[in-house]
Amino acid sequence: MLRLARAAASRAPAQSVWGALQQHRWCMMVHEDVTPNPDCMKFSPEGEEDDVPLMPDGVILDIVSPASAVEKSPLAERLFGVDGVRKVCLADSWLTVTKGEDLEWEDLSPQVIEAIKAWHKNGEAITSEEYMMNEDTEIDESFDSEVVQAVKELIKSRIRPWVQQDGGNIKYIGFEDGVVMLQMQGACQSCPSSVGTLKGGIEKMMMHWIPEVLEVRAVDDDFAEEYIIEMKSTRKMYKLVDGKLVPRSQDDDDVMNKGI
């Protein structure tokens, strides 16, 4: 099962390209494209010969507030300086901006494009190296079950590239009782067609490749944040031994003999 999910996986090392990404300083145009979400627009910076790389291949950074932009990305910070910008999602060669419902793109798009050009002209960093990796799909063999590993591989190799085509992204949050919990990001978030994408596309693919998956469910930002904090604490305390979580501070044999 895990081999099937891994079959289509391919990913360039994020850290190895980081230095190169920070150095691009050529003349730039910015193309805009509509997404299935009317409140979200996709912007693609382009240089004289090719796309302007933003993040390493396959890495997504979803920024939902001006405060988090200050911590994570000078580019996002500039974009949040445009009145009406609600969310920013950064990808390898494009970014999406989500606006307030009461605004029109014909007024907002020129301001967004100017903010991107100003960021580029000033030679500012894209984001801090601290936030580069897609940690949600990084496999922890000491904690993740075979099913969870398969889910993460399928997201990374097939599902995430598929939703990114329309300027969206998904983040793995957790797996409990046959339910995969995902956070919809970028153009996928609050999109009228997101339910169809989730149930008709993602859930169908998950259930086909991984029989243990019974449902795929979207969770909101608050739930995702609380759940991630809880799971980080659990990972520090427990590890997976023969399919069971056991305390990391005790000898594995003693724990298993006691039936914990």
| Residue 162 confidence (pLDDT) | 84
Residue 155 neighbours by CB under 8 Å, 6+ apart: 137, 170, 172
CA–CA distance, 191 with 170 (Å, rounded to integer): 13
Cα–Cα separations (whole angstroms), residue 260 to 135, 230, 239, 245: 29, 21, 12, 8
CA–CA distance, 56 with 12 (Å, rounded to integer): 8
Q: What is the mean pLDDT of the chain?
A: 80
Its pTM surpasses 0.85: no
- Among 28-37, 51-60, 144-153, 251-260, which stretch is predicted with the lowest mean pLDDT? 251-260
Residue 176 neighbours by CB under 8 Å, 6+ apart: none
Cα–Cα separations (whole angstroms), residue 224 to 62, 74, 97, 170, 220: 13, 24, 21, 12, 6
Q: pLDDT, tens digit, for every residue of 38-84?
A: 999 999 988 766 667 788 777 788 888 898 888 888 999 999 999 99
Is residue 152 within 8 A of residue 137, CB to CB? The reply is yes
How many Cβ atoms from other residues are within 10 Å of residue 81's Cβ? 13
Q: pLDDT, tens digit, for every residue of 197-253?
A: 788 888 999 999 999 999 999 998 888 889 888 988 888 888 888 777 888 865 544
Is residue 194 within 8 A of residue 188, CB to CB? The reply is yes
Is residue 52 within 8 A of residue 120, CB to CB? The reply is yes
How many Cβ atoms from other residues are within 10 Å of residue 98's Cβ? 24
